[in-house]
Amino acid sequence: MEFFLSRLMNRIRPVSFASAATSVREIAPEVPSVGKRAIFLPGEFEAVLGYPEDGDAQLEWTRISGGSHLHRATVEYMFEPAHIKNITLKAGRYVGRFPSVLPAARSHFGEADPIHFRDAFLSTSGLSGQQFGHWVRDSLVSELHGRSLGLPSVGVARKLWPHEPAFREMSGLACRYLWEARFDRLILLHDMGHNHYWERRFMELRQTLRDRAAFMPGQSAGSHIYLSRGAGARPRDPANLALIQAMLEDLGFRTVVPSSLSAQEIAVAVRDAEMVVSAEGSHLNHLHFFAPDALKLLVLQDPHRFYAYHKGLVDFYDGTFGFIVGRPEPDTPDRFRIDLENLKRTIHLLDGAS
């Protein structure tokens, strides 16, 4: 009832996240970042037909052309007190929800009464329960800030991502997911901008995971890899994927399917990669934490949802980002196909880039 009434009052008289905080502190300022120009053939960007909801032509062109892109500040919020129940956070009159595609019932946590914390750091972000990529980039990276404060990390109720336990074991970062808890003081970050502080923590986490991967038993997939989205990704894969995969294998690429491997097996498979070809998607996040510096990444882009976000991460570890844009499949216009000769040409360009 307490949460219901608070949500009702918040709808009548909205209270912002910042105004409910007892302390708001800028940890790192917003900064412009300039990366390398991406590798692509003439006319490729002109073949783009659309973007994801949070993308647009100007943003994506800035990313691939090496233009200046402003990254938001990292801001720390303190709430005294705070209350979490299921996926809802209540602090004063502010009520916010953190929906997840991995919902969990109360019985999953085995807690009869609310747990009390004196201090804690909230690992959950607005999207970390929606996509694995956001969890590993938002939650794990932000938990390094919580650890620097000496605070335990907590998260709102949800089940774990399939590769989450292994990522946590390898990184040494622990988080307790809760059905209900009360906090004397709860800290969280608005941490979406890739400013210098975010980059530093990202690179620290990457180094930790790379160091663990270096000593794991097993044979890597070699220097040239096709990173597959797996059997469940058909709508976002090229319609002529079988031909692409056959061509890549003829060129010496070996196929790795992250969805069919453990996180440790993925780490071993990609730890010696020099060039990776893959469709765009969250599976690329594995590369950012396990692949070597100076990686060359070529992304097969759906013309209906062009997205070059991953270029910024590749830039951080001195990699080179390339792409080729598919063309709509005549019989099924929501699908696309990749021109094989243009793919070969782009691979050749990327191979010669420094």
Average pLDDT over residues 6-27: 77
Average pLDDT over residues 71-90: 96
pLDDT digits (tens, 9 = 90+) for 285-334: 999 999 999 999 999 999 999 999 999 999 999 999 999 999 999 888 88
Q: Of how many residues is the chain composed? A: 354
For residue 65, pLDDT over 80 is answered with yes
Q: What values do phi and psi take at 237, rounded to 5?
A: -95, 155
Average pLDDT over residues 85-102: 93
Q: What is the structure's pLDDT at 13?
A: 62
For residue 45, pLDDT over 70 is answered with yes
CA atoms of 27 and 48, how far apart (whole Å)? 37
CB–CB of 90/185 below 8 Å? no
**Residue spans per domain, the chain:** 2-28+74-192, 35-70+221-352
For residue 249, pLDDT over 80 is answered with yes
For residue 337, pLDDT over 60 is answered with yes
Q: What is the structure's pLDDT at 69?
A: 86
CB–CB of 80/182 below 8 Å? no
What fold is seen in the domain 35-70+221-352? Rossmann fold (3.40.50)
Angstrom CA distances, 241 to 1, 227, 247, 304, stand at 53, 12, 10, 17
pLDDT digits (tens, 9 = 90+) for 260-277: 999 999 999 999 999 999
For residue 5, pLDDT over 60 is answered with no
CB–CB of 278/236 below 8 Å? no
Q: What is the structure's pLDDT at 183?
A: 98
Least confident of 12-16, 36-40, 220-224: 12-16
CA atoms of 217 and 303, how far apart (whole Å)? 40
Predicted confidence band at 10 (pLDDT cuts at 50, 70, 90)?
low
Q: What values do phi and psi take at 108, rounded to 5?
A: -65, -25
CA atoms of 226 and 35, how far apart (whole Å)? 24
Q: What is the mean pLDDT of the chain?
A: 93
For residue 211, pLDDT over 90 is answered with yes
Q: What is the structure's pLDDT at 277?
A: 99
Strand boundaries in 82-232, DSSP class E:
82-85, 88-91, 94-97, 115-122, 153-156, 175-178, 180-190, 224-227
Predicted confidence band at 110 (pLDDT cuts at 50, 70, 90)?
confident
pLDDT more than 90, % of the chain:
83
Q: What is the structure's pLDDT at 33?
A: 85
Least confident of 52-61, 66-75, 287-296, 305-314: 52-61
Predicted confidence band at 9 (pLDDT cuts at 50, 70, 90)?
low
Predicted confidence band at 17 (pLDDT cuts at 50, 70, 90)?
confident
Which pTM does this prediction carry? 0.93
Predicted confidence band at 75 (pLDDT cuts at 50, 70, 90)?
very high
CB–CB of 92/100 below 8 Å? no
pLDDT digits (tens, 9 = 90+) for 111-157: 777 999 999 999 999 999 999 999 999 999 999 999 999 999 999 99
pLDDT more than 70, % of the chain:
94
